Amino acid sequence: MATSWADSVAASEKVETQFSSEQAYQPRLARPTYVPPHLRSRPPSSGSPAPPSAATPAANDRGSYGGPPAGARSAGGFRPDVGRSGYVAAGGWNGRSGGWDRGRDREVNPFPDTDGTEQGLIEQENAVINFDAYEDIPVEATGDNVPPPANTFAEIDLGDALNLNIQRCKYVRPTPIQRHAIPISLAGRDLMACAQTGSGKTAAFCFPIISGIMYGQYVQRPRGRTAYPLALILSPTRELSIQIHEEARKFSYQTGVKVVVAYGGAPINQQLRELERGVDILVATPGRLVDMLERARVSLQMIKYLALDEADRMLDMGFEPQIRKIVEQMGMPTRGLRQTMLFSATFPKEIQRLASDFLSNYIYLTVGRVGSSTDLIVQRVEYVNESDKRSHLMDLLHAQRENGVHGKHALTLVFVETKRGADSLENWLYANGFPATSIHGDRSQQERELALRSFKSGRTPILVATDVAARGLDIPHVAHVVNFDLPNDIDDYVHRIGRTGRAGKTGLATAFFNENNSSLARPLAELMQEANQEVPVWLPRYASRSHGGGRNRRSGGSRFGGRDFRRESSFNRGTDYYGGGYNSTGHGISAGYGAYGVYGAGVTSAWE
């Protein structure tokens, strides 16, 4: 099954016809009896009926992957190597061939090839993390009986299958967020976690979920057309859901835990068929999930784990009613009966308050400074009038080209405020000879995925984007983020610039500022100051021109991305809220400055 719709859209018609008749009669290879998830990847002990389409190669592997011969399946089991050479020939190192082989119940190896070809080397380069940059990271955990952090994956011991996948991902040590969040999750605790962009949040919530599903005992799920996932991961954009699904598939490879993705803009039938074949972890955007819930094709009754990625966005004005409906009105077990984990790089107090409705006796965890890998990102602010923005951007791009930074692996991400603005800037850049594409909510899903892929691969090294691309997307080699139009919210700025400076690499963020952005002047100046960035002398002068600037100020203190709102509420008394490293039960693990070990060069870890 293709991970992304655009990957398979060309082949989808073929698949539709091929399976439409099958759908009603043999929708899945049913498990007649309960099989523990960690045993599910074993070859079938008795001869299950051969799928009628076994002779047809996977139609969604972008043509050049012919797949193994039909007979390969009957050999049973999973073969990590199968399809590798075809994978490379397919050419896209970012285009995953996708999950489970339709009709064969055989799991396709989701790991990139690293056999010395160009693509392999790129992946290897990506995997090298600069860990030195993350040593002096402040950590704060508050709540009852906070489990202590773990220093190594071995210490965490997620089981053989998961450990193998950690190795395949070339993760050697857990990142700071993982060291703290994973033990908390494994202890069954609810969690609200605030960690730098690009610091490995996806793995932090995926590992405990997968492990929990593998080793947990669950009653057999009902058969039929309704899918009963055990875990639900929600994210605010389709592309982010696709990305989380891709990551989760790597982590769950050969564990027997099945991950399915559901998002809008793509044909729903294909996604429904995947669900029918069985799902343990469902990754979804809210709209499509609600659609499926209303069709009764998905039930949340068996949900044991709920994770909200970019949780503050999920609970902001636009999203909150929809999320509340999913979590509170669609049959999901109530808080306390499920485990809930909220992750984001930013967590405003008022959102924390909303979020606490979904949590039970949770631990609040903050790792890192002001919600960003700030030390790795050089931030610049330039005063540019609206009418000068285009020519100014062109100057920047020309300069990059002359400095040799404008290559296949030096990508530039340009953020604009509106969808129309994105279209028009893309066209203008293109007309002026710059290889640009764009992504925004008015483009078709096919176009969106195509644009992202074209950008990632370096074919169009300039991507003009609205905030649809501001959060969570992990795009290697983004060397420069340009805020052509600044956002109104400083948290959005944090997420945007977080598209660069990832995995320990350095990045540059340039913002075009003018009087229209006055409301951002103060929080931006403060943020830059905290990050040891050079603040232009003229920038704070605009702060006085904005009214109610306090509303946009960062919620946290200087060292942290945010604070546990419970510690500042009225029920808190005493004076040592900011005592640094104190938590309510005295099981202190917080404010560890470089206390968690030293990393050698070239050491890698799980990154977002």
Binding residues among 321-360 for DNA as defined by CB under 7 A: 322
Q: Which residue among 16, 135, 442, 447 contacts DNA (CB under 7 A)?
A: 442
60 binds DNA (CB under 7 A): no
Residue choice 174, 286, 371, 472 for contact with DNA (CB under 7 A) = 286
Out of 70, 164, 187, 290, the residue judged to bind DNA by CB under 7 A: 290
- Return the number of the residue (424 or 506) whose C-beta is nearest DNA: 424
CB-nearer residue toward DNA: 294 or 515: 294
Residue 343 CA to residue 334 CA, distance in Å, equals: 19
Our CB check for DNA shows the closer of 159 and 264 to be 264
Q: Which stretch binds DNA (CB under 7 A): 16-24, 41-49, 81-89, 237-245?
A: 237-245
Return the number of the residue (52 or 441) whose C-beta is nearest DNA.
441
Among 94, 109, 255, 285, binds DNA (CB under 7 A): 285
* CB of residue 309 to DNA, shortest distance in Å: 12
Decide if 1 contacts 250 (C-beta within 8 A).
no
Rg (CA), the chain: 24
Residue 373, phi then psi, degrees to nearest 5: -80, 55
For DNA, the closer of residues 36 and 318 by Cβ is 318
Instruction: Assess 291 for contact with DNA (CB under 7 A).
Output: yes
Q: Is 288 in the site for DNA (CB under 7 A)?
A: yes
Q: Which of 156, 289, 315, 511 binds DNA (CB under 7 A)?
A: 289
Q: Which of 131, 153, 263, 455 binds DNA (CB under 7 A)?
A: 263
Binding span for DNA by CB under 7 A among 197-205, 314-322, 402-410, 575-583: 314-322
Q: Which helix (H) or strand (E) holds 497?
A: helix 490-497
Write the DSSP assignment of 309-363 as a string of letters: TTHHHHTSTTTHHHHHHHHHSSSPPPBTTBEEEEEES---HHHHHHHGGG-SSPE
Residue 438 lies near DNA (rule: CB under 7 A) = no
Q: At what angle do helices 389-402 and 419-431 cross, to 10 degrees?
A: 50
Termini Cα distance of the chain: 23
Question: Is 419 one of the binding residues for DNA (CB under 7 A)?
Answer: yes
Tokens of residue 410, six digits: 């030096």
Q: How far is the CB of 106 from DNA (least distance, A)?
A: 28
What is the residue-wise DSSP string for 285-323? Answer: -HHHHHHHHHTTSB--TT--EEEETTHHHHTSTTTHHHH
> 104 or 440, CB closer to DNA?
440
Distance CA 124, CA 88 (A): 15
Read off the DSSP letter of residue 384: -
Binding segment (CB under 7 A) for DNA, from list 74-82, 435-443, 455-463, 521-529: 435-443
Select from 86, 265, 507, 523 the one that contacts DNA (CB under 7 A): 265
Least CB distance to DNA at residue 509 (A)? 19
Q: Which two tokens stand for residue 593?
A: 């400055």
One of 175, 237, 299, 366 touching DNA (CB under 7 A): 237
Nearer to DNA, 177 or 307 (CB): 307
Cβ-count burial 460-496 (b if 16+ within 10 Å, e if not): bbbbbbbbbbbbbbbbbbbbbbbbbbbbebbbbbbbb
Q: Please say which residue, 214 or 463, places its beta carbon nearer to DNA.
A: 463
- Contacting residue, 60, 340, 466, 555, with DNA by CB under 7 A: 466
Between 44 and 441, name the residue whose CB sits nearer to DNA: 441
Task: Report the distance separating Cα 437 and Cα 457, nearest Å.
Answer: 12
Query: Does residue 268 interact with DNA by CB under 7 A?
Result: yes
Q: How far is the CB of 608 from DNA (least distance, A)?
A: 18
Going by C-alpha positions, the residue among 371, 405, 442 that lies closest to residue 197 is 371
Nearer to DNA, 141 or 486 (CB): 486
If the CB atoms of residues 84 and 419 are measured against DNA, the closer one turns out to be 419
Q: Is residue 319 close enough to count as binding DNA by CB under 7 A?
A: yes
Stretch that binds DNA, among 148-156, 223-231, 369-377, 464-472 (CB under 7 A): 464-472
Q: For residue 596, which of 278, 272, 138, 207 has the smallest C-alpha distance?
A: 138
Helix (H, G, I), strand (E, B) or coil at 427: helix
Site residues for DNA, 197-236, by CB under 7 A, read: 236
Q: How far is the CB of 330 from DNA (least distance, A)?
A: 12
- Cβ distance to DNA smaller for residue 138 or 371: 371
Q: Which stretch binds DNA (CB under 7 A): 28-36, 150-158, 466-474, 575-583?
A: 466-474
Of residues 288 and 505, the one with the C-beta less far from DNA: 288
Integer Cα distance of 289 and 263 in angstroms: 7
* Minimal distance, residue 266 CB to DNA, in Å: 7
Least Cα distance to 363 among 352, 349, 354, 371 occurs for 352
C-beta of residue 414 within 8 angstroms of C-beta of residue 460: no
Specify the residue for token string 């994973």: 182
Binding of residue 555 to DNA (CB under 7 A): no
The single residue among 129, 139, 283, 468 that binds DNA, judged by CB under 7 A, is: 468
Nearer of residues 391 and 488 to DNA, judged by Cβ: 488
What is the 3-state composition of the chain as percent helix, strand, coil, each rounded to the nearest 5? 40, 15, 50
- Of 67 and 421, nearer to DNA (C-beta) is 421
Q: How many residues bind DNA (CB under 7 A)?
A: 34
Burial of 174 (C-beta count, 10 Å sphere; 0-12/13-18/19+): buried
- At a CB cut-off of 8 Å and minimum separation 6, what does 214 contact? 36, 37, 38, 159, 161, 162, 255, 256, 257
What is the Cα–Cα distance from 98 to 384, expressed in whole angstroms?
44
Neighbours of 200 (CB within 10 A): 24
Residue 420 lies near DNA (rule: CB under 7 A) = yes
Check residue 294 for interaction with DNA (CB under 7 A): yes
Alpha-carbon torsion 46, 52, 56, 60, what sign?
A: negative
Q: State yes or no: residue 72 binds DNA (CB under 7 A).
A: no
- Phi-psi region at 262: left, alpha or beta (left = phi > 0; alpha = psi -120 to 50): beta
3 state SS of 17: helix
Examine residue 441 and tell whether it contacts DNA (CB under 7 A). Answer: yes
Residue numbers at the binding site for DNA (CB under 7 A): 236-239, 263-266, 268, 285-291, 294, 316-319, 322, 417-421, 440-442, 466-468, 488
